[in-house]
């Protein structure tokens, strides 16, 4: 469309010029004593236009000639800028290819090119980002070469350069440098230094997935299970791991934290910090209940922690493995006392109903027999424990079953049965 309009305009000008020049009888008379010169008006106009065009071309030629030094300087600055960017690309390529020494040299070359460009009067709007990234690349290469001296030097220079950028650029570059420093310290197995770098991050950045992953690793390395568990729960909430991986990590951290917990109030805070899905993990509930009982906590609290696991087990017996079922039985057995309070009677009813629902389960027979024994239901206890002792696969439960039978035999003054039971317990 534009070409068609230009053609129409040119034809219009050509027609106008032809009409004006073809029917223009005007003339220009020039007096140059003693001469008189008659010139056609068209010729005069043509000469004037030609003079204007020549003057314009001469002016442009003169301007171009005078601008040659500036253009040469601009070209030299452009070459330096291109060389800096090319060196940055080379540094990245060498680093990805595993040529770390070449990568560091190329990154340092970027810095020297940018410095030469600044000394020559050139100014890059992204000079801060360019130099900071070059220092980070050099530090990365030094880290790969196990050169901590050069790594620290380039890291400090990168953080200093980042301070000269605009607000958005400064914040981004500084955050990236701190995250890199935290990861390098973690690779050096220096968890304290890694956590110190992460603590310098703003609160919003510290809650990013990459920062929380680093904090989780550093906390575990620094043997800080409480902080590691808090970070793992946040990562699980943000779905940073798959469900199975999340459960495995949280389970391991809780186990580690329980081993470092020596106060009842601290253990209760740990349990309350767990989510609903974590509280339904059999290993965690049993471990927490056992540790609670070891700290002389209220047995009713331990049974309350075990109750969801017990109810799920009754609904789906195959939900727990044999080892998990044995641990659950041991924990419930430890939590049951001799008091005749309503809560204990409720648990006795639960255990009896579970044993009647699964009469061939030796572990449930053992648990029901021990519960009856603690409530002085001697006949029923002896029957259940005798049946359980013959079928139990777990050695500890079988030993405890025979020991309970021996104690009951001693209470009824049956020395022969007591001796036989103690012998069976000792030979397990």
pLDDT tens for the 428 residues of the chain, in order? 788 888 888 777 777 666 666 666 777 777 888 888 777 777 777 888 889 999 999 999 888 888 788 888 888 888 888 988 899 999 999 999 999 999 999 999 999 988 888 887 777 778 888 899 999 999 999 999 999 999 999 999 999 988 887 777 888 889 999 999 999 999 999 999 999 999 998 888 888 888 899 998 898 888 888 788 888 888 887 787 788 787 788 888 888 877 778 888 888 888 888 778 778 888 888 888 888 888 888 888 888 888 888 888 888 877 788 888 888 888 888 888 765 667 777 888 888 888 888 878 888 888 888 888 877 778 887 888 888 888 888 888 888 888 888 888 888 877 888 788 787 878 87
Predicted pLDDT at 52? 93
Nearest Cα neighbor of 401 from 392, 383, 389 is 389
Predicted pLDDT at 20? 64
pTM: 0.67
**What whole-number distance in Å separates Cα of residue 239 and Cα of residue 428?**
47
Q: What range does the domain containing 78 cover?
A: 73-165
Would 221 be classed as within a structural domain? no
Percent of the chain with pLDDT over 70: 96
**What whole-number distance in Å separates Cα of residue 420 and Cα of residue 329?**
25
* Contact in structure between 150 and 138 (CB atoms under 8 Å): yes
Would 348 be classed as within a structural domain? no
Would 368 be classed as within a structural domain? no
Q: Is the dihedral of CA 140, 143, 147, 148 positive or negative?
A: positive
Q: Are strands 27-32 and 35-40 parallel, antiparallel or unpaired?
A: antiparallel
Q: How many CB atoms lie within 10 A of CB 221?
A: 17
Task: State how many domains the chain has.
Answer: 2
* Contact in structure between 392 and 362 (CB atoms under 8 Å): yes
Predicted pLDDT at 154? 92
**b/e per residue 135-144 (b: at least 16 CB within 10 A):** bbbbbbbbbb
Predicted pLDDT at 184? 93
Both structure tokens of 337: 């006392």
Predicted pLDDT at 22? 61
Would 198 be classed as within a structural domain? no
Would 28 be classed as within a structural domain? no
Predicted pLDDT at 340? 64
* Contact in structure between 234 and 207 (CB atoms under 8 Å): yes
Last residue of one domain, picked from the residues 301, 335, 369: 335
**b/e per residue 107-118 (b: at least 16 CB within 10 A):** bbbbbebbeebe
Both structure tokens of 422: 């103690």
Would 331 be classed as within a structural domain? yes
Instruction: Provide the strand spans (E) within 118-242.
Output: none
**What whole-number distance in Å separates Cα of residue 106 and Cα of residue 289?**
59
Last residue of one domain, picked from the residues 313, 335, 357: 335
Would 253 be classed as within a structural domain? yes
Last residue of one domain, picked from the residues 272, 307, 335: 335
Would 184 be classed as within a structural domain? no
């Amino acid at each position: 469309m534009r070409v068609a309009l230009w053609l129409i305009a040119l034809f219009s000008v050509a027609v106008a010029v032809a009409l004006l020049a073809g029917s223009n009888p005007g003339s220009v008379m020039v007096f140059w004593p003693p001469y008189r010169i008659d010139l056609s008006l068209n010729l005069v106009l043509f000469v004037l236009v030609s003079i204007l065009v020549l003057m314009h071309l001469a002016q442009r030629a003169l301007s171009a000639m005078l601008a040659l030094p500036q253009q040469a300087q601009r070209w030299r600055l452009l070459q330096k800028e291109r060389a800096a960017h090319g060196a940055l690309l080379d540094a990245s390529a060498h680093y990805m290819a595993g040529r770390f020494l070449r990568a560091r040299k190329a990154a340092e070359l970027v810095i020297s090119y940018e410095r030469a460009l600044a000394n020559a009067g050139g100014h890059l709007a992204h000079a801060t980002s360019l130099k900071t990234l070059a220092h980070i690349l050099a530090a990365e290469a030094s880290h790969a070469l196990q050169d901590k001296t050069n790594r620290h030097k380039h890291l400090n220079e990168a953080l200093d350069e980042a301070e000269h950028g605009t607000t958005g650029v400064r914040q981004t570059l500084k955050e990236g440098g701190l995250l890199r420093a935290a990861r390098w310290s973690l690779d050096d197995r220096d968890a304290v230094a890694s956590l110190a770098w992460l603590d310098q991050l703003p609160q919003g950045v510290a809650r990013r997935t990459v920062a929380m992953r680093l904090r989780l690793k550093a906390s575990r390395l620094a043997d800080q299970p409480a902080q590691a568990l808090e970070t793992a729960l946040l990562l699980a909430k943000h779905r940073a791991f798959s469900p199975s991986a999340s459960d495995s990590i949280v389970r391991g951290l809780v186990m580690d934290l329980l081993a470092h917990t020596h106060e009842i109030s601290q253990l209760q805070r740990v349990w309350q910090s767990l989510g609903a899905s974590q509280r339904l993990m059999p290993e965690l509930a049993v471990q927490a209940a056992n540790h609670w009982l070891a700290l002389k906590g209220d047995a009713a609290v331990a049974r309350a922690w075990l109750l969801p696991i017990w109810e799920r087990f009754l609904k789906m017996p195959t939900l727990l493995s044999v080892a998990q079922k044995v641990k659950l039985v041991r924990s419930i057995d430890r939590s049951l006392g001799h008091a005749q309070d309503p809560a204990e009677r409720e648990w006795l009813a639960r255990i009896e109903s579970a044993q009647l629902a699964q009469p061939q389960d030796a572990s449930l027979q053992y648990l029901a027999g021990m519960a009856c024994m603690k409530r002085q239901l001697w006949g029923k206890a002896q029957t259940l424990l005798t049946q359980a002792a013959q079928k139990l696969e777990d050695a500890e439960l079988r030993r405890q079953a025979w020991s309970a039978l021996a104690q009951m035999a001693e209470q009824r003054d049956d020395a022969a049965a007591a001796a036989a039971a103690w012998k069976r317990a000792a030979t397990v």
